[in-house]
Structure 1
């Protein structure tokens, strides 16, 4: 493992990876979403998508002691459990596609998912009916598949939450709990399929502290009564990260 850590510290572009991980953590702690949207488009410039996704899942373990504890009491546990379980089931298929698909194609998927999600969030689409258990299972399943394929478990889930009628504090808490839990549950799925390699784990451990520090900073900045402000900031950072990740 020591050799893997030394290799991780020699990763090309590590300084940029650390910086973008801190920014991703700030956005996550602040808005409750957007960490992967910020991290993935930039990380795949320096890393193979498989390594980038696995390392990010490892670094997300820091959320268990940063933003997760305060978010858990605010969520509808039955609803979020359905979302988490359905996402975990479908993630295995997404990981398999990740293993066999073309790298450039995956980078385009990452950028495309980021851009479409950002446009939908800015457009402010909303639904007015109470979602059923089946609806939540479909949303979680779609989120899990996309997450396994591209590392972006959040976009579909975030769009679903932001389009609902929950308060911004509840919406943020639900996405935090969902994204933290699915990131952790995805680790054994990656291990089974040979994606969670020693270099990926080592790099994830290197990025764990920067991500955690960023999340604590973002959480300290969060104000439930300033919804418009933090949405604008998060959308702007996500948009810049998406443009940076275009594989041209």
Structure 2
């Protein structure tokens, strides 16, 4: 069994494997609980171990077997008038995000990723809300931001979290259904582009194999917790988990933690 570890996790230390396992479980819990947030938890931590480009390919592989079934179950509850414009704009903006990912150096990407996540959580936790139904221009703008963030670091859920969690008229059930449906569609689109760019590799596929069960366990626990949690608890747990993951990933702590 131990002979498989170097094959599945090439050039990754035991501490790094532990980080990946923990990030996968926490990300699965948040994803199952809220309908989003796996990448917002996983990417900052996985980027420490693998670098942003390799982490982007890995996160797509881990989420693939789960995103489509979750989307199929949520599609009936989703508001397609909001989902479709977002998806179109996100698809057009995705290649630009991938180009930025490959252009920026690893340290800069880690700072940018962590600060974007922290800023988003701060905005959501502040209690900010907007009223009324979003128009097409707003939906297209949020979709473009989602596509850019998705290509940059697979964190396309950040603009969507602000968009749907920030909508006063949305409850947690509607938010979760919209998120699950959107991510199922975006998995197909982003996977095609990432494969063409050479970001999804055999290495990322092998590394994902032992993480599937961990992610599935997190999703199962998060999904069952969703059924008993209140609206306030739902938001607080999601915000806190994402915030702590981004905070720990800041390069500021590298010297202190000897990483």
State the TM-score, normalizing by the size of structure 2: 0.88
Q: Distance in 1 between matches of 2:250 and 2:35?
A: 25
Q: CA RMSD in A?
A: 2.1
Query: Is 1:200 the equivalent of 2:204?
Result: yes
Which stretches in structure 2 are left out of the alignment for 5+ residues?
A: 253-259
1:81 aligns with 2:84: yes
What are the Cα deviations for residues 76-133 of structure 1, in whole angstroms up to 9, with x where unaligned?
1232122122212211110011111111111011101110011001011111131112
User: Which residues of 2 match residues 129-144 of structure 1 at below 5 A?
Assistant: 129-144=132-147
Whether 1:52 aligns to 2:55 is yes
Per the alignment, residue 166 of structure 2 pairs with: 163
Task: State whether residues 24 and 211 of structure 2, in contact with CA within 8 Å, keep that contact through their aligned partners in structure 1.
Answer: yes
- How many angstroms apart in 2 are the aligned matches of 1:88 and 1:213? 30
1:186 to 165, 187, 190: 190
1:114 aligns with 2:114: no
Question: Shift of residue 47 of structure 1?
Answer: 0.7
Distance 1:201 1:183, change over 3 A: same
Q: Partner of 1:11 in structure 2?
A: 12
Which secondary structure does the structure 1 equivalent of 2:200 belong to? coil
| Mapped partners of 2:217, 2:69: distance in 1 | 8
Is contact 2:61-2:205 (8 Å) kept? yes
Which residue, out of 13, 21, 35, partners 2:24? 21
Bigger Cα displacement from structure 2, 78-87 vs 95-104:
78-87
- CA separation in 1, counterparts of 2:5 and 2:190? 21
Compute the displacement of 1:238 (Å).
1.2
Partners of 1:88 and 1:74 in 2: CA distance = 23
CA–CA distance in 2 between the matches of 1:99 and 1:85? 23
State the 1:15 CA deviation.
2.5
Counterpart residue number, 2:70 = 67
Q: How far off its partner does 1:7 sit?
A: 4.0
Relative contact order, higher structure (CA 8 A, sep 6+): 1
Q: Work out the CA distance in 1 between the residues paired with 2:11 and 2:209.
A: 14
* Distance in structure 2 (CA, Å) of the matches to 1:66 and 1:22: 19
**Counterpart contact for 1:60–1:180, Cα < 8 Å:** no
Q: Which of the residues 108, 112, 116 maps onto 1:105?
A: 108
The residue number in structure 2 matching 1:127 is: 130
**Residue pair 2:56, 2:199 contacting (<8 A) in 1 also:** no
CA distance in 2, matches of 1:19, 1:236: 16
User: What secondary structure sits across from 1:74 in the alignment?
Assistant: coil
* Residues 93, 147 of structure 2: 8 Å contact kept: yes
* Structure 1 stretches of 4+ moved >6 Å: none
Instruction: From 207, 213, 223, give the equivalent of 1:209.
Output: 213
- Indicate how the Cα distance of structure 1 residues 148 and 91 shifts in structure 2: closer, same or farther if over 3 A, else same: same
Query: Secondary structure at 1:67's aligned position in 2?
Result: helix
